[in-house]
Amino acid sequence: MSLPVKHVLGILADNLEYRRSVIPMSAARATAWARGLDIPFGGETVLYTGQMYQIIPSINSLSAMMAKVENSWINRFMGLGRLANRIIDLSWFMTLGVGKQQKEYNGILRNIALILKSAGVEFGYLYSQDLYSGALVFDEGIDDVFRKQARRVYDIFKTNGVKQVITVDPHTTSILKDVYPSVVEGFDLTVKSYLEVLAEKNIPCRRRLDMDLVIHDSCVYTRYLDVVDQPRKLLQSACATIHLPELSGRLTHCCGGPLESLFPARSHEITVKRVEQLAECGRSAVTMCPICLACLKREAGDKIDVKDISEYLYDCYCQPGK
Amino acid sequence: MLKTNPAFAASVKTASNFNAAACINCGSCTALCPLGVDLHPRTLFRYVLIGAEEKLLENTSVIYSCLLCRMCEDNCPADVPIAENIRSLRSYINRTRFGLMKG
């Protein structure tokens, strides 16, 4: 038995249409990462999170629940769940007990902001107006709901006088860079991932990493956006020794994440396979996508230590030398 | 018996960017897919091109299980936009079967 695709997609689409995110969250929670960083509101250049890192703890709870429901009689009632979700935001329950994880994922965003500051990049943040981009709904082909969200997000950028957008994850980057121009008339923003921005800056390393790292490339960064060399350059400049699995770069193997919400068991199989491939090359793996990070971390166990690239970059480009 | 509906292919194409005319049926896409043999993009595309709507819909779960990772697309000798085609099929099903879109 598999999850009823129609109802699961219906819940995600309803959430985006009526609550502005597939996994809705309060503005306080979505912006908590920026507390105390003194990032100005708005400006011509903004750091746009698209709420991707912030929603991962809820996605982890959701995935665990979906995996339990996938082969259970309960999934016959998913249609009723969709109706209930229109009245009560069921995704709120996914936020219960995720405080520790939230702190960890917020830390990634803080790292990214601090590295950019350290590199001399001037940027603002739209705080409560930094909305989800609609990436998942686009991938699932729910086009009219996606178009509305794209228009909403773009209008916020324009109202606030934004000209350049710095993104933090591959999915949001691809949606803004490649998809928005085809659905939003007159789209004229410059979009770059923070990894591209940092690689162009040639910032000096303050503290050598001196460690072996296995790179797990993101499918979207490599095959959609051609971002392959930038993370390697940043890590190698910090004296990390890079190890690559056979399937890497433009031939990278998927983490399984895109199937989490509809086919958890298949997603799990793919993730396990990828963890094995990475573990053959070393003990410390580095990711650059929140979905990859969440999936691989969940299955890594004691086989391999998985961290977001920003953790390493913060250590070597922001911390004082030893 | 395989039923065909000549209007089906046109309906998929006009509502999206679906384009599989260049597919040479070589099978490179399937060989590279991280999902293994379950997903045959070329078979799905063939169903659309010949108007076999019922056969396509029998494979609804296959269509939604594509990772959109573009491993197949990056290695397609005919440059078929495989991921976008799969996304277009989802869009078609969402619109015509799931009632998820108004258009």
SS3 A59: helix
Highest mean pLDDT among A74-78, A286-290, B17-21, B48-52: A286-290
Per-residue pLDDT at A320 exceeds 80: no
pLDDT over 90 percentage in chain A: 80
CB spacing of B100 vs A2 below 8 angstroms: no
Out of B67, B88, B103, closest to residue A144 by CB: B103
Query: What are A125's strand-pairing partners?
Result: A41
Backbone angles phi, psi at A286, to 5 degrees: -120, 130
Which residue ranges does chain A devote to CATH 3.40.50?
A: 205-317
Give the whole-angstrom CA distance, residue B14 versus residue B102. Answer: 16
SS3 A319: coil
pLDDT value of position A92: 81
Q: CA of B2, closest CA in chain A: separation in Å?
A: 25
Chain A: residue whose CA lies nearest to B36: A270
pLDDT value of position B103: 53
CB spacing of A141 vs B102 below 8 angstroms: no
Close Cβ partners of A233 (under 8 Å, ≥ 6 residues apart): A199
Q: CA of B56, closest CA in chain A: separation in Å?
A: 16
Give the whole-angstrom CA distance, residue A7 versus residue A166. Answer: 34
B71 touches A at CB < 8 Å = yes
Out of A5, A10, A141, closest to residue B91 by CB: A141
Q: How far is CA B12 from the centre of its chain?
A: 10
Burial class of residue B96 in the structure, from the number of CB atoms within 10 Å of its CB (0-12 exposed, 13-18 middle, 19+ buried): middle
CB spacing of A263 vs B89 below 8 angstroms: no
Q: Can you give B31-43 as a three-state secondary structure string? A: HHCCCHHHCCHHH
CB spacing of B87 vs A263 below 8 angstroms: no
pLDDT tens across A140-181, in order?
999 999 999 999 999 999 999 999 999 999 999 999 999 999
What is the mean predicted confidence (pLDDT) over A44-48? Answer: 98
Instruction: Give the N- to C-terminal CA distance of chain A in Å, as an integer.
Output: 56
How is domain A205-317 classified at the CATH fold level? Rossmann fold (3.40.50)
Out of A5, A143, A251, closest to residue B64 by CB: A5
Give the whole-angstrom CA distance, residue A242 versus residue A287. Answer: 13
pLDDT value of position A136: 96
pLDDT tens across A79-100, in order?
888 888 888 888 888 778 788 8
Check: complex ipTM more than 0.90? yes
Cβ atoms of residues A15 and A85 within 8 Å: yes
Chain A: residue whose CA lies nearest to B73: A223
B14 touches A at CB < 8 Å = no
Cβ atoms of residues B81 and B19 within 8 Å: yes
